[in-house]
Structure 1
Amino acid sequence: MSKAFIAAVLQDSLACTGVATAKAADDLVGAIVAELEQEGGFTLPSFGTFSVHKTKARKTLNPRTGEPVKVNAGKTVRFKASPNLKKAV
């Protein structure tokens, strides 16, 4: 799914211009990202839950050279599908 796909669906259902729906799709994605940054999670009922998880620093190997590489700690986003979405798919 892309922002263009979201904009096309909005344009079909709302009968708006492409520019307006593209702006709405950008705003929607921006709002989701802001919510993940501030609250650490975001839930869409009947779809699923996005949550931010911390990753630990670790050592791994460069697959090309075989040299050890240090990977810094960071954050990643995880998704858990709702039961309704699991049944639908």
Structure 2
Amino acid sequence: MTKAFIAETLQKSAELNGVTALKVAGALVDAIVAEMKKSGKFTLPGFGTFTVRKTKARRGVNPRLGTPIKITAGKTVRFKASPTLRKEL
């Protein structure tokens, strides 16, 4: 799913013009990112929950050369589908 797809869906369902729909889609994505930065999770009822998780530093292997590399600690996003979404699928 892309921001353009979200904008197109908004444009059709809310009868918005293309520019306004793109602005709304961008604002929606920005609001989700801001909430995840602030609280570490974002829940969309009936869809699921996105949570930010920390990853530990670890050793990996360069697939091209086969040499060991260090992978630094970081953050990743996990998604857990809601029971409603699981039932629909």
What is the distance in 2 between the residues matched to 1:69 and 1:88? 42
What is the distance in 1 between the residues matched to 2:50 and 2:6? 18
What is the distance in 2 between the residues matched to 1:4 and 1:88? 24
Aligned residues: 89
The sequence identity of aligned pairs, in percent, is: 61
- In the alignment, what sits opposite 1:48? 48
CA deviation profile, 1:25-46 (whole Å, cap 9, x unmatched): 0000000001111100000000
Please list every run of 5 or more consecutive structure 2 residues that lacks an aligned counterpart in the other structure: none
What is the distance in 1 between the residues matched to 2:86 and 2:46? 10
> When the two structures are superposed, what TM-score results if normalisation uses the length of structure 2?
0.98
Please list every run of 5 or more consecutive structure 1 residues that lacks an aligned counterpart in the other structure: none
What is the distance in 2 between the residues matched to 1:13 and 1:39? 30
> When the two structures are superposed, what TM-score results if normalisation uses the length of structure 1?
0.98
- The DSSP-based 3-state class of the residue aligned with 1:35 is helix
Structure 1: 4+ residue segments shifted above 4 A:
none
What is the distance in 1 between the residues matched to 2:12 and 2:63? 46
Residue 6 (structure 1) shift: 0.6
CA deviation profile, 1:8-35 (whole Å, cap 9, x unmatched): 1110111111000000000000000011
